[in-house]
Amino acid sequence: MNERADGTEGAGSTSQPVRHVAIIMDGNGRWAEQRGLPRHAGHRAGLESVRRVIEVCLQEGIHTLTLFAFSSENWRRPKKEVSLLMDLFLSALQGEVKRMQANDIRLRVIGDRSAFSRKLQGRITDAEQQTRANQGLLLQIAANYGGRWDIAQAARKLCEQVRDGSLAPEQVDESLIASHLSCADQPDPDLFIRTGGERRISNFLLWQCAYTELYFTSRLWPDFDQDAMREALNDYAGRQRRFGKTGAQVKGGRTPVS
Ligand code: IPE
Ligand code: IPE
Ligand code: MG
């Protein structure tokens, strides 16, 4: 198993680096409803929070940010909302490329993109291509993503290799499965944030979050600003990550202040 508390470079104190933050951006609909606005107004307002969080990641030298934008279960929403979400995704992809280039951000979309319109798929590929050489921050957008889908697609690839005779079942272990998951080349998330008050994972990065520190806030996503992001990072800095060891064995983790 990969042990991530190995002190390699990252944001925060060297003893508690933050290399990868994963966020469930929840609460857009309620934010809009509270204002008597249609739900999609909340989704649009949420885009501003994405920019704010990226700003903090850039300032803090965080290498990877994974944002849950649309789950494999979100197709169950009213058709109108789904279609407005797709429109927003399309326009955001187009509108944000310039900003990503200016800030050295590489975009990657994770999830089953085959369900998207051809136009959207094309725009995703274009945005990924245009930003591919950037090295500052890897921005992963999870769209039509499900943690179970991710594990299933990895299993399918391995089964195909077994069928072809290039892999023996005995060779299948945790690291081989992990290497076929969507963000195989990235460290597992150090910090998972969910806004909007719900305390669940909703089929996000199930495998990858095995040892991730979880942070829940009732703040709705469109209200999540730089200060809220820093608050989450500070909370994380007070955690002691043990990865199965005893507290005494782990050096560097601070005792949380209660
Ligand atoms: C999260 O906000 C955005 C998506 C799921 C696309 P919601 O739309 O789930 O907002 P609430 O939870 O209904 O307030
Ligand atoms: C999770 O939010 C998915 C995204 C934020 C994209 P949901 O609002 O869909 O989650 P549930 O249905 O409340 O678990
Ligand atoms: Mg929600």
**Atom 8 in ligand 2: residue holding the nearest Cα:** 26
Query: Closest Cα partner for 200 from 8, 24, 10, 30?
Result: 24
On whether the CB atoms of residues 196 and 26 are closer than 8 A, the answer is yes
Q: Best mutation site among 73, 148, 202 for ligand 2, i.e. most ligand atoms within 8 A of its Cβ?
A: 202
Residue 16: what pLDDT? 79
> What pLDDT band is residue 252 in, cutting at 50, 70 and 90?
low
Residue nearest to atom 8 of ligand 1 (CA): 29
As a whole number of Å, the end-to-end CA separation of the chain is 31
Residue 167, domain member (yes or no): no
Q: Model confidence over 105-127: pLDDT tens digits?
A: 999 999 999 999 999 999 999 99
In a domain? residue 124: yes
> Does residue 72 belong to any structural domain of this protein?
yes
Active-site residue identified among 26, 150, 188, 190: 26
Q: Is residue 180, in this structure, part of any structural domain at all? A: no
Mean pLDDT of 244-252: 89
Helix-then-strand count for the chain, H and E: 7, 6
- How many CB atoms are located within 10 Å of the residue 25 CB? 22
Tell me the residue range of the domain where 111 lies: 17-146+189-240
Active site residue 74: yes
Mutate to test the pocket of ligand 1, among 23, 24, 26, 204 (most ligand atoms within 8 A of CB): 26
What average pLDDT does range 176-193 have in this prediction? Answer: 97
For the chain, the domain total comes to: 1
Pocket (CB within 6 angstroms of ligand 2): 24-26, 68-71, 74, 198, 200, 202
Instruction: List the residue whose alpha carbon is closest to atom 13 of ligand 1.
Output: 29
CB count within 10 Å of CB 24 equals 24
CB neighbourhood size of 151 (10 A)? 16
User: How sure is the predictor about 7, in pLDDT bands with cuts at 50, 70 and 90?
Assistant: very low
Tell me what pLDDT residue 126 has: 97
pLDDT mean over 25-33: 98
Q: How does residue 251 score in pLDDT terms, banded at 50, 70 and 90? A: confident
Is 254 a residue whose pLDDT tops 90?
no
Over 50: is that where the pLDDT of 87 sits?
A: yes
The token pair at 198 is 């719900």
Residue ranges around ligand 1 (CB below 6 Å) = 25-30, 70, 74, 85, 196
Domain of 91, CATH number, reads 3.40.1180.10
Are 45 and 220 contacting, i.e. CB atoms less than 8 angstroms apart?
A: no
Q: Could you tell me if residue 117 is inside a domain? A: yes
Specify if 154 maps to a domain: no
pLDDT in tens, 31-63: 999 999 999 999 999 999 999 999 999 999 999
pLDDT in tens, 191-214: 999 999 999 999 999 999 999 999
Asked if residue 92 belongs to a domain, the reply is yes
For 130, 177, 193, 229, 254, the CA distances from 235, given in Å and listed in that order, are: 35, 31, 11, 10, 11
The C-alpha atoms of residue 10 and residue 235 are separated, in whole angstroms, by 16
Concerning whether 26 is annotated as a catalytic residue, the answer is: yes
In-domain check, residue 127: yes
For the entire predicted model, the pTM comes to: 0.93
C-alpha 177, offset from chain centre? 19
Q: Average pLDDT in the 130-146 region?
A: 98
One-letter amino acid for residue 93 of the chain: L
Instruction: Kindly list the strands in the beta sheet with 64-71, ordered across the sheet, starting from the edge strand earlier in the chain.
Output: 105-110, 137-145, 64-71, 20-24, 191-194, 213-216
Separation between Cα atoms, residue 102 and residue 148, nearest integer Å: 35
